[in-house]
Structure 1
Amino acid sequence: MLRLMAPDAQTLMRSRYSAFVLDELGYLLDTWHSSTRPVSLEPNAPGTKWLGLEVRQHTRQDDDHATVEFVARSRHNGRAARLHEVSRFVREDGRWFYVDGDFVEKERSAGARRPQ
């Protein structure tokens, strides 16, 4: 996988969603800020299909901090789910990282991971 530096938090959010769809766990960990990064991630549960990403808002607080509000749709074993989150991002040494996020709605299936 080609790994270019995202020019902004929204671009990083979109690339991380793609990584979730493709189970690119290494990329997800590489783009997760060290202060909140988990030790490991689990692949998508069998029967999970990601259906799309809608970025609703990208807000830059300053040169190095931004939020991205998004809705990710999925289906797990035939059951539809939506994940609505506002994610926080930070830029260090010119590189954007995912920090954490707050759920706006909790409508995801038990088998679907959060695309952060």
Structure 2
Amino acid sequence: MSRRTARPTKPVSTCPCGLSEPYEKCCGRYHSGGAVAPTAEALMRSRYSAFVKGDRAYLLRTWHPRTRPARLDLDPDMTWTGLEVLGATEGSAFHSSGTVTFRASYRGGSLHERSRFERADGVWVYVDGEFLGE
């Protein structure tokens, strides 16, 4: 009987957006530019992951040109702890706009928002959001 040596495995980290896929196969492919988010919800999840990762460039790139700020300052002390998608309307491949309602938790509280998304040049972008309270 032969003995097999166990190969060391690279730990797989799930995506910060809350889906069970590894980051590289989930939001990471959008962040790297290898793919674009196919739905408003996928874009919202990828933007949450970008906040977790501190990816300013992606956040600005996926912000609608008419509402995008000139610069974006992220709080380096902010620790995001989870995302819960509460609902979505439209925002599929068959729509030109959509909304996603979510709760994003951070150390010390949470953000409850309904975000609006539109297609710009065929690609989903974030327009703005309405804060719904804690």
Place the TM-score, normalised by the shorter chain, in its bin.
0.7 to 0.9
TM-score (structure 2 length as normaliser):
0.71
CA shift, 1:58, in A, is 1.0
Listed as ranges, the matches of 1:48-63 within 5 Å are: 48-60=78-90, 63=95
Question: If each structure's strand is expressed as a fraction of its own residues, which one has the higher value?
Answer: 1
Larger Rg: 2
Cα deviation, residue 69, structure 1: 0.1
The share of aligned pairs that are identical, in percent, is: 50
C-alpha displacement of 1:37: 0.2
Aligned residue pair count: 101
In structure 2, C-alpha distance between the alignment counterparts of 1:41 and 1:67, rounded to whole Å: 22
- 1:7-44 per-residue CA deviation (whole Å, 9 max, x = no partner) reads 00000000000000111000000000001000011122
**Residue from 63, 67, 70 that aligns with 1:32:** 63
Write out aligned runs for 1:1-116 (5 A). Answer: 1-3=31-33, 4-46=35-77, 48-60=78-90, 63-75=95-107, 80-105=108-133, 107=134
- Asked if the contact 2:101/2:113 (under 8 Å) is kept, the reply is yes
CA distance in 2, matches of 1:82, 1:92: 29
Letter in 2 for 1:73: S
Provide the alpha-carbon RMSD of the alignment. Answer: 1.4
What is the rounded CA distance, in whole Å, between the counterparts of 1:103 and 1:87 in structure 2?
9
> With structure 1 as the length reference, what TM-score do the two structures score?
0.82
Q: Mind listing any 5+ residue stretches in structure 1 that lack a counterpart?
A: 108-116
User: Which runs of no fewer than 5 residues in structure 2 stay unpaired?
Assistant: 1-30
Task: Using the TM superposition, give the Cα deviation of residue 45 of structure 1 relative to its aligned residue in structure 2, in angstroms.
Answer: 3.5
Distance 1:20 1:9 in 2: 17
Greater relative contact order structure (CA < 8 Å, 6+ sep) = 1
